Structure 1
Amino acid sequence: MIVFSDESGLSLLPPVRRTWAPAGQTPTLQMRMGQRPKVSVVGWCCYSLGQPARYFYRVVPGSVTDRILIRQLHQVHRSLGRPIVLIWDNLSSHRSRRMRAFAARSHWLTLTYLPPYAADLNPVEGGWAHLKNGLLANLGARTLDELLTTARRGLRHIQRHPALVTGFLAATHLDWNPQPSTS
């Protein structure tokens, strides 16, 4: 099973996007200033030839650590029930000593890293764009609970629509069906 993973942060400071309004009525976005609590989301896009794509996510308070990623990797592996080739970026928690040791003792896991500055090759980025340009765009959430409720609704939508997850992979233009070698 090929699995891509990535992390993204969410805060009460909304992603501001273009919008429409009647002429002469400039739209405003109201928000509270001051402390902005942050949460992180880890997304997992899972692909296997001949099977529907799958999507997993986990919301975590604060930042993502290698310990959190290892726990989530166990959960994703249990859910998939198959060996995983994990493809992700070069975040320090992905290359930590703890993560390398975990991968070395996990016969079901192979780690692969994307080239630096190649976020466009990770289909999970398509999920973040779908979420932040859709439900979260211009959302003036007043509380973290309101933000998380809306974010989880969007993440569950992705989870329930395998064709959407397949579309995220297609948008990367990665060759999913390589031709066999003729030599």
Structure 2
Amino acid sequence: MAAGGSAAAALGAWVCFEDEAGFSLTPPTRRTWARRGHTPVIRIRARTQRRFSVAALACYKAGERSRLIFRPRLHGRHDSSARRSLAWTDCRDLLTAAHHQLGGNMVLVWDNLKCATRRYGIEWR
């Protein structure tokens, strides 16, 4: 590490913050009110059990434009046995694509994702 600096600056690397999120495409069940004797009817269209997941990297480097690199994934419609979240291969593919797109070293700041980086089989330098 450079004196008084950071490891990323010493390496000339991008600092990348990674996170992932999942969203349900099913509207939430809500309650409403009506006058006594008038039952309210709430119509919900396109009721589905589909889910949408996104993994993203916010990348920063001194002297460069910041970048947002993301990979969305729409999960199956009726297949209840299918995975409903991001797999470790999705995160691996995001990191590989970011490494190629940024064209340099990366320092990755990651939250407590359950799939560990050792499963990727990639050595980052």
Could you tell me the TM-score, scaled by structure 2's length?
0.61
Aligned to 1:23: none
Aligned to 2:119: 98
Partner Cα distance (1:9, 1:90) in 2:
15
Could you say which structure has the larger radius of gyration? 2
Runs of 4+ in 1 over 6 A off after TM superposition: none
SS at match of 1:49: coil
Unpaired runs of 5+ residues, structure 1, are 16-28, 109-183
The yes-or-no answer on 1:64 pairing with 2:86 is yes
Unpaired runs of 5+ residues, structure 2, are 1-13, 29-41, 76-84
Partner Cα distance (1:52, 1:80) in 2:
11
Matched residue count: 90
How far 1:32 sits from its partner (Å)? 3.5
SS at match of 1:77: helix
Could you tell me the TM-score, scaled by structure 1's length?
0.43
Report 1:67-82 matches (<5 A): 67-82=89-104
CA RMSD of aligned residues (A): 2.3
How far 1:96 sits from its partner (Å)? 5.6
Aligned to 1:151: none
Aligned to 2:15: 2
Which structure has the highest strand share of the two?
2
Render the CA deviation track for 1:79-105: whole Å, top value 9, x for unaligned: 000111111111111x26413x43xxx
How far 1:60 sits from its partner (Å)? 1.2
Which structure has the highest helix share of the two?
1
The yes-or-no answer on 1:12 pairing with 2:34 is no
Partner Cα distance (2:67, 2:117) in 1:
27
Q: Which amino acid aligns with 1:36?
A: Q
